[in-house]
Amino acid sequence: MNDVKKGNEFIQSLLKQKGIHPTVGRAPRSFRRIFDGKTFNSSTMTRIKSADHLKGPNCYHWEEELLQTRTGDFLLRGEGQPLSPWGAKIHDTQDLTRGYALIPMVKNDIVKWFEARSIEIDDEELAELFSSPKEANLLFRLPYALARKLSSAAATRHTTPQEIVQRLLEQHL
């Protein structure tokens, strides 16, 4: 069985196990949701790893990213086309369309997701991931015009200013 199919089967079983049905549309880049009494706020979460399948016919494309809260809780944000595991049923039909889901994840789910999506992570990185959260809070000032550009870029890209700054720093440091 190829890696994509194995990963897709894992996502389908995870969705079923947690009783989550994909919602019609694109995954929100900005959200605040509560699952099992835990708050997941995209503007304060950190992207840990991501996976995608953008090859072949468009109807199979999907994207996933593992996010972590400041308190160490994890969420998988996934979205995809109709024939991906993220395809959503159109109300009152058997038809599928682009869909998404937000899935709270625990350690066992995350390790299986890494394996199913062939994401390489060494033992040290894995241990650090599940240790106490280590996130620094930095405050810095930007010229007003630059801050407006950053906010505008985040809205256009359906992301957060924090995510843009984090990705830029990761690329340049």
Say what percent of the chain tops pLDDT 90.
55
pTM assigned to the model: 0.74
Q: What are phi and psi for residue 155, nearest 5 degrees?
A: -65, -45
Average pLDDT over residues 62-91: 93
- The confidence score (pLDDT) of residue 2 equals 66
**Arithmetic mean of pLDDT, 33-55:** 90
SS3 36: coil
**CA separation for the pair 43, 20 (Å, rounded):** 23
Task: Name the residue among 80, 93, 114, 112 with its Cα closest to residue 13.
Answer: 112
- The count of other CB atoms within 10 Å of the CB of residue 92 is 6
Position 135 confidence tier, pLDDT thresholds 50, 70, 90: low
Number of H helices, E strands in the chain: 5, 9
Between vectors from CA 158 to CA 157 and to CA 162, what angle results, nearest 5°?
85
CA distance linking residue 159 with residue 31, whole number of Å: 10
CA dist., res. 125 & res. 123, Å (int)? 6
Q: Is 1 helix (H, G, I), strand (E, B) or coil?
A: coil
Answer whether residue 48 shows pLDDT above 60.
Answer: yes
Residue 5 has pLDDT above 90, yes or no: no
Q: How far apart are CA 151 and CA 164, in angstroms?
A: 10
Angle CA 163–62–81, to nearest 5: 120
